[in-house]
Amino acid sequence: MNRNLDAAVKSISELIRIDSSEKKHTKHAPFGKGVLECLHTFLRLAESLGFETHDYDGYIGEVIFGEGEPFAILCHLDVVPAGSGWTKDPFGGAVEGGKIWGRGAVDDKGPAVCCLYAMKALKDSGFRPSKRIKLIVGCNEESGWGCIEHYREVATLPETGFSPDADFPVIYAEKGILHIRLHFPAKKPPFLSLKGGSSANMVCDYCEAGLRSVSFERAEALGLQAEGKKLISHGKCAHGSTPEKGVNAIAPILRYFSDKSEAVRRAYECVFEDVYGLKNLHDETGALTISPNLVQYRKHDLQLVCDIRYPATINVREVHTLLKKFGVKYETLHHQEPLLVDKDCELVQTLLSVYEECTGRRAAPVAIGGGTYARALRHGVAFGPEMDGDAPVIHQADEFISVERVNLLLDIYEKAIEKLTC
């Protein structure tokens, strides 16, 4: 058992108890008071462990260890909204059944704390890094990366490092990320209101439509519920990069109305039936995925916000060429270029060796659809904390990290930091 395990578990639990999903900003809290509180709590913890810290105007913070060429460990403290379907308090931080429960346990408060205590273990052992380790903790990773943009303005971002915000054994490639808002004109819709979803990068788990009357038989056939003059669809939340792990609540609602409205039918065909073949774009990093995660109807306009993850070697222009075939107005809300590094580079191979040493598993570098801070670096990769076979919990109800996993992460990150900065 790692000597810092109990302290790490306690710290993870304390951070989970702070709701750090983005809220209304204030002058001193650019992403909301909860996010700022979480940042200050983390930095106070780091200071109590003897580290130098910096708070960059509430946007982002860092913990410093060592001198020399900078090396980045990029984490984030903000979380997506809790969503529905929880059996535990999403911001309770309960430690039960060998697990720490709550939003951010895996994504990404747990790994951030583990990296901090890994640095503490190295410092306590007398290790002197040859590099200036910067444990950078952002506050806007889930909804825009404004924190990284601010950091670039006020500090120097290292060129090399890793982000503990994805999967093991090591991530050498991440798909490009494109969030768009589609506009389907609908002057006479078959509903009075329509809304669903809570975040652009979370599979929609609840959608509802208001209407004058409901066909109960048709609703039941599609798995919908009728409550008064509301038609309700329940789904299952999942990360927007892996929509196949969730159940999208928007789809059955659009199907219900598709024979009553050309606009709705068109929207359903484009985003759910993929009539223009976006998903046919693929390479070694996988196929394109599209997840329509937000829907609303406003002023004769049916709007759908889609999370698109496109293959790392594909130019985004190819995606736009297919989107234009939809024949409707759309706008780009967010775009991040893909990440792709050499599988045989020293960074990848060092982390791969650490993973194999600590787990006894031989593995090869992998590609993912998720997007991490690693792509903010000139030469960065993602490294943990999830493993093949783990139950999907990121962006889902009842997110947790096991105490056993925390124990393993403390060892893995300590060895990784030591080997990369010795």
Residues with catalytic annotation?
Answer: 78, 141
Separation between Cα atoms, residue 154 and residue 84, nearest integer Å? 38
Three state DSSP letters for 268-279: HHHHCCCCCCHH
Residues whose CB falls within 8 Å of the CB of residue 110, separated by 6 or more in sequence, listed in order: 12, 100, 104, 385, 401, 405, 406, 409
Q: How many CA atoms within 13 Å lie on the side-chain side of 350?
A: 18
CA distances from 60 to 53, 132, 138, 146, 291 (A): 11, 18, 5, 9, 29
Beta strands in 164-244 (DSSP E): 166-167, 171-174, 176-185, 193-196, 206-210, 225-227, 230-234
> What's the first-to-final CA gap in the chain, in angstroms?
24
Segment (H or E) for 52? strand 52-56
My answer on whether omega of the bond before 243 falls inside 30° of 0, hence cis, is no
